[in-house]
Structure 1
Amino acid sequence: MKNDMKINRYLEKAEEAFEQNNLIKSLNLYNKVYELSKGKDVDAIINLALIYDFWGKSEKVKEYYKEALSIDDCEERAYYGLAAIYDDEGNYAKAIKLYKKAIYINPSYHKAYFFLANAYDVSGKKDLAIYTYKRLLSLSPLDFWANLNLGSIYEEKDQNDLAYKKFSKALKINPHNYLALFNMGVICCKFNMVKKAAGFYERAIEKNKNYEYSYLNLAVIYKYKDTERGIKILSRGIDNCSEVHFLYYNRSCFYALINEKNQACEDIIQALKLYPQFLKYVLEDEELEKIRQLNSFKEFIHNYI
């Protein structure tokens, strides 16, 4: 009884230290609980795993989660924690199996559903990802990221009506998220609602000036009908995302369209310096045919590639 009281006191202090981000103190207190309980307190073991996970000690984390499961094989937190480690390592098959175990034990485990769906998505199992996101949304309809991610999968599969609905729902939940705004721009372009798409891209840029794809997609809208405006948009992107090779590549193509050969050449050289693998595309790109004939380009190829 006295031991139990001491354990509870240490657990309270350890949790308080953890919440205050005093991880060393928290670790020491959980270790005391571990010793007093002779390694049988599952809460202490789970929290020791969380601390070591914060420090990136994945093998140590695995040991603690497996130890917790050896005490209680219905401990959903341990299955989820192990799954997250394997997920980070790219071992999606193991991660999926463990997320499913956590959900089997706790059918309302929101985080497990979310990361299970994501693991299915990144491992190419799109239909299972859709099914899992739907199950999550049946539990939590206002989950912003579940709506957004499900919409992205629908958009990849060209199920654009469904994608539009999910992106719209995500924006109702969070009207200021740049990715939701960007994705709505993508869908509006697919529906040929170009003016609306441009508005969404502009709003996405307002919310995050460092997301390079917003500049690219917005510029492409103006590529042939207002090339100089497109160049200005790409220049804004380059100012905010200076190391993004494809913005230089695309601006080079825009300059080539209006016969600004020297500027086009400068940009394509910069793109190749940042990403030499572009050379294959540069040598085949019809828009850059005149640029490839310039002496400055030939000299660069001779000296640097």
Structure 2
Amino acid sequence: MKDDMQINKYLEKAEEAFEKNKLIKALNLYNRAYELSNGEDIDAIINLALIYDFLGKSEKAKDYYKEALSIDNYEERAYYGLATIYDEEENYEEAIKLYNKAIYINPNYHKAYFFLANVYDVSEKKALAIETYEKLLSLNPMDFWANLNLGCIYEERNENGAAYKKFSKALRIDPNNYLALFNMGVIYYKFNMIEKAINFYERAIEKNKSYEYSYLNLAVIYKYADTKKGIEVLSSGINNCSETHFLYYNRSCFYALIGEENRACEDIIMALKLYPEFLKYILEDEELENIKKSNSFKEFVAKYSL
């Protein structure tokens, strides 16, 4: 009885330390609970695994999760924890098995459904991803990320009506999320509702000025209708974003369209400096035909090739 009280005291203090992000202190306290229980306290073992995973010691974390399962083969948290590690390692088949085991034990395990759906998505098992997200949403219709991610899968499959419904639901849950606003812009553009698409892209930029794809998609709308406006949008993106190589590439194409070949050449050279792999696309890009003939471009490519 005395040992049980001491174990619980260590567990409580460890949880407090963990919540304050004092991982080493929490680790030491969980270890004390583990030792005092002779390695039989499941909570101590699960939390040791969790902290070792946080600290980047995934093999150590796996050992503790497996130890928990050797004590209780129905410990859903251990299956889930192992699954997340294999997921991170891109061992998707193993992750899928383990997420499903966690769900078999606990059919209401929301996080397991979410990450299982994501694994199905990234491993190109889209139908299973849809099925899993829909199951999660039947349990928790207000899950923002499940609605948004499922909408993205529907949009990829060109099931735009279904995508619209999921993005709309995501925006009802969080009206100010830039990704939800961005994706609604994508859908309205597909619906050929251009003014609405522009509005949503502009709102997405307002909420997050560093998301480069909002600028790109908005600029593309203006590419032929108002090329200079498109250049302004891309320039704003270049000023506000860290990943700008494809914004420079696209601005080069826009400049080429209006005959500003010197600026187009400067931008395509900058794009190549930031991302040399663009060269193979540039050499095939008909919009940049005149730019590829310029001395500045030829000289840069000659040096780059060397």
Q: Same fold (TM over 0.5)?
A: yes
- Give the TM-score band, short-chain normalised: over 0.9
Is 1:275 the counterpart of 2:275? The answer is yes
Number of the residue aligned with 1:222: 222
CA contact (8 A) 1:117 1:129 kept: yes
Number of the residue aligned with 1:159: 159
Is 1:3 the counterpart of 2:6? The answer is no
Is 1:49 the counterpart of 2:43? The answer is no
**Residue aligned with 2:3, SS:** helix
* One-letter amino acid of the structure 2 residue matched with residue 248 of structure 1: Y
Q: Report the alpha carbon displacement of residue 242 of structure 1 after superposing the two structures with TM.
A: 4.7
Larger mean CA deviation between 237-246 and 136-145 belongs to 237-246
* One-letter amino acid of the structure 2 residue matched with residue 162 of structure 1: A
Deviations 1:242-270 (A, max 9, x none): 54211001000000000000000000011
Q: Report the alpha carbon displacement of residue 4 of structure 1 after superposing the two structures with TM.
A: 1.3
Deviations 1:19-40 (A, max 9, x none): 2222222111111111111100
**Residue aligned with 1:96, SS:** helix
Number of the residue aligned with 1:119: 119
**Residue aligned with 1:284, SS:** coil
CA contact (8 A) 2:212 2:243 kept: no
With the length of structure 1 as denominator, give the TM-score of the two structures: 0.98
Larger mean CA deviation between 78-87 and 7-16 belongs to 7-16
**Residue aligned with 1:47, SS:** helix
CA contact (8 A) 1:243 1:274 kept: no
Number of the residue aligned with 2:129: 129
With the length of structure 2 as denominator, give the TM-score of the two structures: 0.98
Number of the residue aligned with 1:204: 204
Provide the rounded CA distance (Å) in 1 between the counterparts of 2:292 and 2:26: 63
Aligned residues between the structures: 305
CA contact (8 A) 1:216 1:247 kept: yes
Provide the rounded CA distance (Å) in 1 between the counterparts of 2:131 and 2:301: 50
* One-letter amino acid of the structure 2 residue matched with residue 284 of structure 1: E
* One-letter amino acid of the structure 1 residue matched with residue 170 of structure 2: A
**Residue aligned with 1:138, SS:** helix
Provide the rounded CA distance (Å) in 1 between the counterparts of 2:20 and 2:211: 33
Q: Report the alpha carbon displacement of residue 5 of structure 1 after superposing the two structures with TM.
A: 1.6
Is 1:288 the counterpart of 2:288? The answer is yes
Is 1:32 the counterpart of 2:32? The answer is yes
Number of the residue aligned with 2:237: 237
CA contact (8 A) 2:253 2:287 kept: yes
**Residue aligned with 2:120, SS:** helix
CA contact (8 A) 1:17 1:23 kept: yes
Q: Report the alpha carbon displacement of residue 107 of structure 1 after superposing the two structures with TM.
A: 0.5
Q: Report the alpha carbon displacement of residue 186 of structure 1 after superposing the two structures with TM.
A: 0.5
Provide the rounded CA distance (Å) in 2 between the counterparts of 1:9 and 1:299: 71
CA contact (8 A) 2:31 2:44 kept: yes
Provide the rounded CA distance (Å) in 1 between the counterparts of 2:220 and 2:22: 49
CA contact (8 A) 1:27 1:48 kept: yes
CA contact (8 A) 1:82 1:98 kept: yes
Provide the rounded CA distance (Å) in 2 between the counterparts of 1:7 and 1:278: 59
Q: Which runs of 5+ in 2 are unaligned?
A: none
Provide the rounded CA distance (Å) in 1 between the counterparts of 2:294 and 2:2: 86
**Residue aligned with 1:192, SS:** coil
Is 1:105 the counterpart of 2:140? The answer is no
Q: Report the alpha carbon displacement of residue 87 of structure 1 after superposing the two structures with TM.
A: 0.2
CA contact (8 A) 2:155 2:187 kept: yes
1:170-209 alignment runs, 5 A limit: 170-209=170-209
CA contact (8 A) 1:80 1:99 kept: yes
Q: Report the alpha carbon displacement of residue 12 of structure 1 after superposing the two structures with TM.
A: 1.5
* One-letter amino acid of the structure 2 residue matched with residue 78 of structure 1: A
1:42-81 alignment runs, 5 A limit: 42-81=42-81
Provide the rounded CA distance (Å) in 1 between the counterparts of 2:30 and 2:268: 57
Runs of 4+ residues deviating >2 angstroms: none
Provide the rounded CA distance (Å) in 2 between the counterparts of 1:207 and 1:5: 50
